[in-house]
Structure formats: C-alpha cells, structure tokens
Structure 1
Amino acid sequence: MISFTSFPTQPEDAYRTVRRYNDDEDDAMMDLDDENGPSSSKLTCPGETLTSSHDYMRGHGTYVDNDEVIASVTGTIERVNRLVTVRPVNSRYNPEIGDLVVGRIAEVQPRRWKVDANSRQDAILMLSSVNLPGGVQRRKLESDELQMRTFFEEGDLLVAEVQAFFADGAMSLHTRSLKYGKLRNGQLVIVPPVLVRRLKSHFLTLPCNVDIILALNGYIWVSKHIKQIEQEGELGFDAEAVYSNQNDRIDSSTRSAIARVANIIQILASHFIPLTDTLLLEAYEWTMEQDSDVKTLLQEDYGDALVAAVVSKE
C-alpha cells in the first residue's frame, strides 16, 4: 500500500538558509569577476565552501558535498564561465612554448643535457640547441660532443627558452641567444610558479645594479648587473667567458643589494603576493626608505609591514 506524506517545513527553512549562504558566495565571485575579468583568483584552503553545485560546475581541486562545491587543496580559485577550479599553490610548472625558464643541469647524456626545470619531468637541452665557439650555425662535431662538460656540467644553472615538446611531453630548451646560457654572480630564489606573472620582459634591472630573471617555472635568479652584449658579436663570441664557472669579483655593496632583493622576493612569496617588475621596484624603494639593513627584512613584523605598504599602493 502506497501512502503520501508532506515534507516538513523545517528542512525547507534549512535549505533556504543554505541557498542564501551560497548566493552570498556567488555574489562574492561575481564581484571578483567584475574586478579582474572573466577569470579571477582568490586564495582558499581545503574544506572551504566555494559555491553551489546547482549553479557552477566543479573542476580540478574541488569536490561536491551536500550540493556545495568545496575546495580540496590550498590554492587560488579560478573561474571560467561556470567552471570553478582551484589551482594548487605547490603545483609543478606547466610549460608553454616561448616561456623563459631557469634550470639546473641534472645529467649529461650523449648529445644532450637533462635539466631540472621544476616541471613534472626533466627538460632536454640538445647539443644542437646551444651556441658553440666558431659560429651559431656551424655543425656540431664529434669533438663538441666529447667536450660537453666544458659547456655545461652537473649542477650548473642556466636560463633558456622553451622551444618545443617531445612526444613524451618533455620540454625541449634552447640557448641560441647571448641573453641565455650559464648563470653566474648571483643567488637562486625558488617560489611557487603560480606567483610569477607573464610580463613583456622577464629580465629586470633595479637601480641598485642588480639583475633579476623572473623565470616562469618559479626559479628566480638575482645577480650582479651585467651590461647587455651586442647581438652582432654572437658569431665570434668568447666561449671561455660565456661558459666560465668562475664568478666575477663582487663588492660588498653589490652583495648586500643582491641579498636584499632576494629577501624581498622571499617575503612577498611567503605572503602569496604575485611578483611583477613594478611590485619588486616599489618593495625595494620602501626598504631603502626605512633605512634598514638586510637582516631586518627577515623579521616577521617587518615583512608584514612591507607587504602592507606595497599592497596599499596597488
């Protein structure tokens, strides 16, 4: 025998309360979209309710529970139309052709180097994709293959460009320009790749004679300023200078400036502040106005004051 019963009023009230909460979440997302465009970002943590599953589709980094889309990882909320995803903070670098990356030589193989570029698998730098003495376009000989460790050896840092991808998805790098190649006279700072914005130029020079390479894979190189080399000199460039393992003499003031910039980057990254050229310049100028030494930057209260001062100008 089938009987029909009416639903009680209390669950309806509870459902209506949940719907009002989700509508508030949706309104917050709409505000972000109006401010930042069709794809916005906001930091979230696991277990945080993002929106209603009735109005939005769940993407990577989320799950559905009780008709709510909930974050499963710590990261930034990204929305494209009705798709909501969470990009993890500690995710590996996802490369694209033309990206500027900084990597470390992991292994020397026949006619190629394996490079750790903070990606899901090691990148490949072919012997045919580097500048060699005697001209850029000349053929690579057997003698070049025997001398590969005179160019790059295990542990060397280099800056390169993503040229293509192999069938297994590994990056193919090249250093066929004098602005690419082995890195010297500096310090490596590692940040989450999501914090490095795509800029017109990722080679920056601060007034303190410090060069910064904002690599998109999260490896940032801070070094002594080096004057730009004329591109016309590539055909007869000095291989000993380009592939040298010896650092130049760096005076104490330049060393202090390099350490200051490196500490600033670490402070901004610890507060999950995206890195841009203007932001780094403003942060450096603020620290100089405070007339503080390099060690003071490592204090927690000083870092909070730096972030507050820089973010307020944005």
Structure 2
Amino acid sequence: MRDLHLQQLRLNQTQRVRLQTALQKLQDVSPSSAAATVAVADNIPVNHEDGVLKGHGTSELDGQVVATLCGVVERVNKLVYVRTLRARYKPEIGDIIVGRVIEVATKHWRLEINFSQDAVLMLSSMNLPDGIQRRRTATDELNMRSIFEENDVICAEVRGFQHDGSLHLQARSLKYGKLKSGQLLTVPPYLIKRRKQHFHHLENYGVDLILGCNGFIWIGEHVETSNGVMEGDGGNKVEESNESSSHSVPLGEKGQRLMSLETRQHICQIANAVRVLSTLGFSLTTEGILEAAKASISLGINTKDMLGAEFHVQTAEREVGRRMSLLRKKG
C-alpha cells in the first residue's frame, strides 16, 4: 500500500534512489518486522512438529504453509495467521473513534466510522445539551437535529456490539461530542496503535489532535474551558465558553467565531505532517507528527510544500537516523 502512495509522488531519479535507500535501511534496522511481512503465495516458516494450526490468510501447499493474503504474519501459541494491512477497522470495546453523521433516525444517529457497518449512537447514550441527567422525552427526540445533524463530525467511544452485529457508541463524557473548526483526515487504521491517550493538546500550536482508532484523525482549534476540556468535547460548559468569548473575537456571517490565520496555518501544518507519515507507511504517534512539523519549520519548508517529493524523502532519511541512534543507545 505504501508503494501505491509513493508512486503518486513526482520523484526525480535522485530522489527515487534516496528514498529506496532509506526504505531499505529501515528494513535492515528492523529485520524482525520485515521478515514477518508476506505477499500472496509466500512461504511462512513454521515447525510442523509443533502441530501448527493454520488460521486466516494461510493455506497448505505441497506440505508448506503459504500466505493467501498480503499482510503481517501473527502467531498466537500454535495458531499462525496473516493480518491484512488494508483491512477495514476492527472495533474493540473502549476504542476512541471519530465518525461522521450520515443519518438522523428515530432515537439514534448513524455514523460512518470506516467499519463494514455503520455505527449507532443512541440518544440515551450521550449527554444532553443542558447537561442534566434525566430520561429522554419526546421533545428531546424532536430536537435531535439541533444536537447533531448530517455531516457533523463526532468523537465517541465504542460501547459494544448488539445481537444483530451492529456497533453501538456512547458519548456520556464531556470529552466526547461534536467536533468543530478543524480538518478530518482518513488514514489506514493499522497506522494508529491503541494507546492509553488518544486526545492530545499541542500547546505550541494551539491545536487539538484526536487519533481515532478507526483511522479517522481530527485536527482542530483548541479552546480552553473552565474545566480544561477541549472545544470538541461537547457539553453545555463548552457552549458557555464560546458565548463568553464571542465579544472579544470576530464573528462570521452566522455568528460563529472565526478562527485566526495562525491557527489555520498550524492545523494545515499538522495535517500535512500526518499525510506525509501516512504516505510513507510510518506509525502515527504524537511525537512523530510533531517531529515532522518541526522539521518543516527548521528546513524552511512552506506548509503547502510539505506534500512535495523532497520533504517525503527527507522524512524517510530522518527516520533512518532516528532508528539508528536508538540502536546505538541500546548497544
């Protein structure tokens, strides 16, 4: 998949050689991960004396275990299977996800979350705008569109699966809810590892970064509230903060607070750093994203030029240097 994205870059001969050299060095630095990557019909080394169990993405041919999918070989005790890299998101309970509303239905919203099915957010599974915990009434159901409507971007948590296989979400905390004033990016889900913290405030940029486990990444403006929750976290306290600050900032045609030019530039800068790392197939972490953004500043590269071929090559070469230094420290 990385090769497909790299083919879209307009690399000259020198840049192509530099990039291939950097990627080859990355494979040499981490041979264990490179050896685990297989394509269709590749042999998977196993010990038949241990009674190996062939799992998903594997088959037996002439006494050898071969891969029927492109991906990474995973081993769990005696089970051997291939985890496809281009597969859709596979939800787990407790995952932080970012999705887009595609339908306002009876007592629930339907969201696109890069899953094989649409997710469901029940009206009873989220905080009401007034912040009061109470039973949902017919009036609340009639006012659902005033909370979320089509094309709204929402952050939520995976609650569980229903008997019919549908995925249910919840947004009962103030850190979940509608996200505004930012960009929504889509990357392969395998580039985002499950961590304890998926909400990040980039103080030097005045930007909030949400790494959704489903491959949807939100980069938006940060607005402090009385309880320190980001603007996109939803809830009545956020609305009060916006109202109180409306007198000191310019307003748009619809009375919405306008984002400063500096903040817009920072959002685009962080977004382009994510795009570069995703194109190269590197894992997306806060540290890696910030390092790429700082590198563009130190090299004097404009935000729009970050998507050029030269910065992709420099990012790959910088990653080689980082991993080599880590190996020297361990040695």
TMscore range, shorter length: 0.7 to 0.9
TM-score, normalised on structure 1? 0.79
Write out per-residue CA displacement over residues 140-198 of structure 1, whole angstroms, 9 at most, x where no aligned residue. Answer: 11111111111111111100011222112222111112211011111111111111111
Distance 2:298 2:241 in 1: 37
In structure 2, the CA distance between the partners of 1:188 and 1:133, relative to structure 1 (3 Å rule), is: closer
For 1:223, the equivalent position in structure 2 comes to 220
Q: How does 1:253-292 map to 2 (within 5 A)?
A: 253-292=262-301
2:328 — aligned with what? none
User: Counterpart of 2:44 in 1: which secondary structure?
Assistant: strand
- Residue of structure 1 aligned with 2:315, choices 300, 306, 313: 306
Of the candidates 106, 109, 113, which is equivalent to residue 105 of structure 2?
109
Deviations 1:241-287 (A, max 9, x none): 89xx9864122222122112111112211222111222222222222
Contact persistence 2:39–2:71 (CA under 8 A) = yes
Which of 76, 82, 107 does residue 78 from structure 2 map onto?
A: 82
For 1:80 and 1:246, how far apart are their aligned partners in 2?
56
Q: Cα–Cα, structure 1 residues 295 and 41, in superposed 2: closer, same or farther, change >3 Å?
A: farther
Cα displacement string for residues 61-102 of structure 1 (whole angstroms, at most 9, x for unaligned residues): 222223333222222222223333221122111111111000
Measured in 2, the distance between the counterparts of 1:235 and 1:87 equals 39
> Does the 8 Å CA contact 1:132/1:239 hold for their aligned counterparts?
no
**Residue of structure 2 in register with 1:10 after alignment:** none
1:209, 1:225 within 8 Å by CA — same for their partners in 2?
A: yes
Partner letter of residue 142 of structure 1?
Answer: A
C-alpha distance in structure 1 between counterparts of 2:118 and 2:255, whole Å: 26
In structure 2, C-alpha distance between the alignment counterparts of 1:235 and 1:223, rounded to whole Å: 17
Per-residue CA deviation, residues 110-144 of structure 1 (Å, 9 max, x unaligned), is: 11111111112111111111221333311211111
| CA–CA distance in structure 1, aligned partners of residues 225 and 297 of structure 2 | 26
**What amino acid maps onto 2:39 in structure 1?**
C
Pick from 147, 154, 159 the counterpart of residue 150 of structure 2: 154
1:268–1:174: structure 2 CA closer, same or farther, 3 Å change rule? Answer: same
Percent of aligned pairs sharing the same letter: 38
Residue type of the alignment partner of 2:261? S
**Counterpart contact for 2:225–2:237, Cα < 8 Å:** no
User: Taking CA–CA contacts closer than 8 Å with sequence separation of 6 or more, which of the two structures ends up with the larger relative contact order?
Assistant: 2
Give the AA of the match of 1:256. Q
User: Which letter does structure 1 place at the counterpart of 2:210?
Assistant: I
Paired AA for residue 72 in structure 1: T
Please tell me whether residue 65 in structure 1 is matched to residue 84 in structure 2: no
Aligned-residue offset at 1:239:
5.6
Larger Rg: 1
Match of 1:54 among 48, 51, 70: 48
> Does the 8 A contact of 1:59 with 1:85 survive in 2?
yes
| Distance in 2 (alpha carbons) for counterparts of 1:84 and 1:184 | 44
- Measured on the aligned residues, the alpha-carbon RMSD in Å equals 2.8
- The answer to whether the Cα contact below 8 Å between 2:184 and 2:216 also exists between their aligned partners in 1 is yes
Q: Which residue of 1 aligns with 2:209?
A: 212
The 8 Å contact of residues 57 and 84 in structure 1, kept in 2 or not, is answered as yes
The residue type paired with residue 219 of structure 1 is F
Aligned partner letter, 2:224: K
User: Do 1:59 and 1:83's aligned partners in 2 also have CA atoms closer than 8 Å?
Assistant: yes
Q: Which residue of 2 aligns with 1:177?
A: 173
Show the counterpart of 2:130. Answer: 134
* TM-aligned CA distance change 1:130 to 1:41, over 3 Å: farther
Rounded Cα–Cα distance in structure 2 between residues aligned with 1:203 and 1:161: 12
Instruction: Decide which of 249, 260, 266 is 2:258's aligned counterpart.
Output: 249
**Gap regions ≥5 residues in structure 1:** 1-27
Secondary structure of the structure 2 residue equivalent to 1:50: coil
